[in-house]
Structure 1
Amino acid sequence: MVVVIHDRFARRIIENMGVDAERVRVVRNWSHIQDDEDETVDVLHTRARLGWSPDETIVLHAGNMGVKQGLHLALDAARLAEAQSPEVRFVFLGNGSQRRALMEQSSGLTSVSFLETLPEAEFTAALRAADVLLVHELPGVSEMSVPSKLTSYFHAGRPVVAATDPDGITADEIRAAEGGEIVESGDAQGLLRAIVRVGTDKRYGDALGERGQSFRRKVLGEANAIDTFEKILDSAKRGR
């Protein structure tokens, strides 16, 4: 049997690689963050600790800063924000092969800041304290993977804005969750517009965040995945 993490991957290996559809199963990835739905985060305290003003619209990209993410294109939106939307701040949390280059390219931009990797509890608090959670993908890599950060983003209950291929897997996932907005990767002006729209309309942003959180519980939960794996292994053991 063959297990993949998304329906789009299942179609690819059936149609392009000739794998028998009866042998293919989908088991979704789940978040490394444990369910803690009753845990509350003091947003104002967290923002103050991280140096974020209550008046800023914080756009947080959390996770790897590699080539695949194409974050140099996100800096184009940050440059536009300097002139058009000075209340918007792009925050890049984590590490990766492109971090140093991004820091150099953003030198002098007041709309950009960087954070080192945080412990899990602080990481979750940072996600929940942001106004917008950013997914960014380099044009042309839309069929390569499902961003693992989406499970953590949806868990946080905050709205997502994704700069990606509108026909790609990431866009499919966000549409399925109804948890955010999608912009063509490389469209800096469109990205900034979406960020401002989602980040400044609190009712709209909260609704997107709640729908993403519900999707994570129903589709991306750890218990569901483990139960599915158990059934797959039991079926394989029985020779079906």
Structure 2
Amino acid sequence: MKKHILVISQYFYPEQFRINDICNEWVKRGYKVTVITGIPNYPQGEYYEGYGVFKRRKEIYNGIEIIRIPLIPRGNNSITLALNYLSFVISGFFWMIFSRLRADYVFIFEVSPMTQALPGVWYSKKRKIPCYLYVTDLWPENVEILAGIKNKQILNGIGLMVDYIYNKCDRIFTSSESFIKAINERGVEVEKLEFWPQYAEDYYKPVKKDQTSVIEIPDDGIFNIIFAGNIGVSQGLDILPKVAKILKKTDSKVRFNIVGDGRFKEKLIKMIHEEDLSDMFNFIPKQPPTRIPEIMALCDATLISLSKSKVFAITLPAKTQSCLACGLPIIVSADGEIQKVIKRAGAGVCSDAGNVEDLAGNIQKLVRMPKSDMRQMSENGLRYYKQTFDKNKLLDRMDYWFGRK
């Protein structure tokens, strides 16, 4: 009989998160997989077309059973976002109370908010089955630093919730090595913690220029840099107009290709127009993830950028693995953990978050760099990816824990 994994994730297909591929792989490995998730609304803050409280609440995706519990869309302000988080927990509580579903394990995919873990913890306690938590965003640090909440009572309350979740989980996996120290400092024994990095989906791989039909990026000799993903405040892209200004003064022929959508996009476009830098930017609408490697094939380097914060300094964004797997030199504008990885791999150039001059200097360095050195960076990154983030090795390790009762 197939072992049954119950996945709790507030975000799931058609929203694009790595848990989609993890669940696909578990089905291929012979598990039965059921996902409890919300009605898709990320990142735009509105329900996706064709979905709603009374539409497509259950569906099958690649053999995965999806159960969508009601939640309030994220909207575009802090109040609706808080209601979005809370509504998933309330719906999850009632689902847990009345559900007859029987699983062997609970796996919680924790990107913010941590609150989404509660229904999974409650279900595992009710059914007396193992509960595994995968931490990719650190709470309450994320709330304090990124949301700017300073009220001690609120933070202490969130801290108590986080400690309760950690205590009730049988094992905690982390996407960043630095998270282990941070969670251990909350009183969780090290033996309960394990670094389990994210991997990139199989379609993230090097693509040759002559194999792509991309028309969104001109092949005109300009040095093309790509940023693909969510365009939010957390990504720190407000640095780019300042960097572009420096590059323009030095007559560096550079184009920033920004692929995606998000809350900060309109403001970023406005900043670029105000500085008369539109000729150095190319905005491309959000694309299916499978197209990203093709678009990257027409670029010379890829950018990973984060805002300055203590949380981001110990975070390894999932984008890191995607960029390494595609074999492009990587430009980092972020602190801490990601710099360690890229330097260790020899796969690119790094500057601290918010450092305009150093980022501009690194881009100029790449523009002037011999093609052979650029190729070496690409090869280094690809080699490091295969050694460190191999999908099968990581899934084999998770199989070990699913083999225990």
TM-score between the two structures when normalised by the length of structure 2: 0.53
For structure 1, which segment, 188-197 or 151-160, has the greater mean C-alpha deviation from structure 2 after superposition?
A: 188-197
The residue type paired with residue 318 of structure 2 is S
The residue type paired with residue 41 of structure 1 is K
Distance (Å, rounded) in 1 between the aligned partners of 2:211 and 2:364: 20
Aligned equivalent of 1:225: 394
Q: Give 1:96's match in structure 2, choosing from 262, 285, 297.
A: 262
Could you list the runs of 4 or more consecutive aligned residues of structure 1 that deviate by over 3 angstroms after TM superposition?
Answer: 33-37, 43-47
Displacement of 1:112 in angstroms is 1.4
**Is 1:41–2:208 an aligned residue pair?**
yes
Displacement of 1:41 in angstroms is 2.5
Displacement of 1:94 in angstroms is 0.7
Question: Are the aligned partners of 1:52 and 1:58 in contact in 2 as well (CA < 8 Å)?
Answer: no
Aligned equivalent of 2:178: 8
The residue type paired with residue 362 of structure 2 is A
Aligned equivalent of 1:173: 341
Indicate the SS of the match to 2:399.
Answer: helix
For structure 1, which runs of at least 5 residues remain unmatched after alignment? Answer: none
Displacement of 1:17 in angstroms is 1.3
Question: Are the aligned partners of 1:198 and 1:205 in contact in 2 as well (CA < 8 Å)?
Answer: yes
TM-score between the two structures when normalised by the length of structure 1: 0.87
Q: Give 2:379's match in structure 1, choosing from 163, 188, 210.
A: 210
Displacement of 1:179 in angstroms is 1.1
Relative to structure 1, the CA distance from residue 116 to residue 63 in structure 2 (aligned partners, 3 Å threshold; closer, same or farther) is: same
For structure 1, which segment, 212-221 or 149-158, has the greater mean C-alpha deviation from structure 2 after superposition?
A: 212-221
What is the Cα-based RMSD across aligned positions, in Å? 2.0
Q: Give 2:321's match in structure 1, choosing from 124, 148, 151.
A: 151
**Is 1:114–2:280 an aligned residue pair?**
no
Displacement of 1:32 in angstroms is 2.5
Indicate the SS of the match to 1:34.
Answer: coil
Deviation string 1:125-151 (CA, Å, 9 cap, x unpaired) is 112221111111111142363211111
Question: Are the aligned partners of 1:164 and 1:185 in contact in 2 as well (CA < 8 Å)?
Answer: yes
Deviation string 1:6-64 (CA, Å, 9 cap, x unpaired) is 211112212x1121111111111011343666xx42259656x2232341001111111
Indicate the SS of the match to 1:129.
Answer: coil
Distance (Å, rounded) in 2 between the aligned partners of 1:35 and 1:187: 29
For structure 2, which runs of at least 5 residues remain unmatched after alignment? Answer: 1-170
Aligned equivalent of 1:190: 358
Work out the number of aligned pairs and report it: 230
Relative to structure 1, the CA distance from residue 203 to residue 4 in structure 2 (aligned partners, 3 Å threshold; closer, same or farther) is: same
Aligned equivalent of 2:197: 28
Identical counterparts, % of pairs:
19
Question: Are the aligned partners of 1:60 and 1:91 in contact in 2 as well (CA < 8 Å)?
Answer: yes
Distance (Å, rounded) in 1 between the aligned partners of 2:193 and 2:254: 44
